[in-house]
Amino acid sequence: GGKVAVADLCLRVERGECFGFLGTNGAGKSTTFAMLTGATAPTSGDALLHGLSSRHEQPQIRRQLGYCPQHDALLALLTARETLRLYARIKRVPPAAIEATVESLLLDLDLARFSDKPAGQLSGGNKRKLCITRDHPRLGIALVGAPSLVLLDEPSSGMDAASKRFLWAAIKRRTLECCTVLTSHSMEECEALCGRIGVMVGGKLRCIGPIQALKSRFG
């Protein structure tokens, strides 16, 4: 008799694809991500990442997974640069490559000016950028040839227009190297980034397909 947050969700996202996950607040998008990342256990069902089970092989999956949660989960006292170093280590970037990787990531999302500022003192939009950057698939490059799944939960919320464009360009640049799933409330964002979208209503996936096809069918 309890609330069912996500029911009978079934879909496949290919490598090189950016998939847009849409739905009103409470539709079940973040819960889906929570299940994929192992933060919440599903009552039933499973998801596979290149054959790895999200229920039984979480440790292997986590090394290949980039996750930007809806609510910024940053360590307030670490600077932007320290945050990226920490994640580079967790993702097993070879020690000799850490500094170069971190610097290029800071440039990638226009965070270089804030690299020595504690994360807790960054503006909302820059916190978002840091969350997105630290799980950049390039941090997983130590695993040669490894697949990467990138989950971005409302990545651009709170960002100004210029930062959004910058973020979109960064997401586009790396789309081909991995598999990206993002949630958004902005059609403009989905049109800029996503090949296909799916719309969730009350925990169920109600329609899925290329944006143009859904638009011409449902208006």
Tell me the C-alpha distance between 130 and 105, whole Å: 10
The one among 18, 20, 22, 23 contacting ligand ADP by CB under 6 A: 23
Site for Mg ion in 70-99 (CB under 5 A): 70
User: How does strand 52-53 pair with strand 48-49?
Assistant: antiparallel
Tell me the C-alpha distance between 169 and 16, whole Å: 15
Contact status: 36 vs ligand ADP (CB under 6 A): no
Contact status: 28 vs ligand ADP (CB under 6 A): yes
Contacts of 37 (CB under 8 A, 6+ apart): 54, 62, 65, 67, 151
Alpha-carbon 189 to chain mean position: 14
Alpha-carbon 111 to chain mean position: 18
How many helices and strands (H and E) does the chain possess?
8, 8
The one among 9, 26, 58, 72 contacting ligand ADP by CB under 6 A: 26
Contact status: 30 vs Mg ion (CB under 5 A): yes
Number of residues binding to Mg ion, judged by CB under 5 A: 3
Q: Which does 31 bind (CB under 5 to 8 A by kind): ligand ADP, Mg ion, none?
A: ligand ADP
Structure tokens at 166: 């910058």
Q: Which stretch, 27-35, 116-124, 136-144, 195-203, contacts Mg ion (CB under 5 A)?
A: 27-35
Contact status: 37 vs Mg ion (CB under 5 A): no
The one among 30, 156, 163, 175 contacting ligand ADP by CB under 6 A: 30
Q: Which residues bind ligand ADP (CB under 6 A)?
A: 3, 5, 23, 25-31
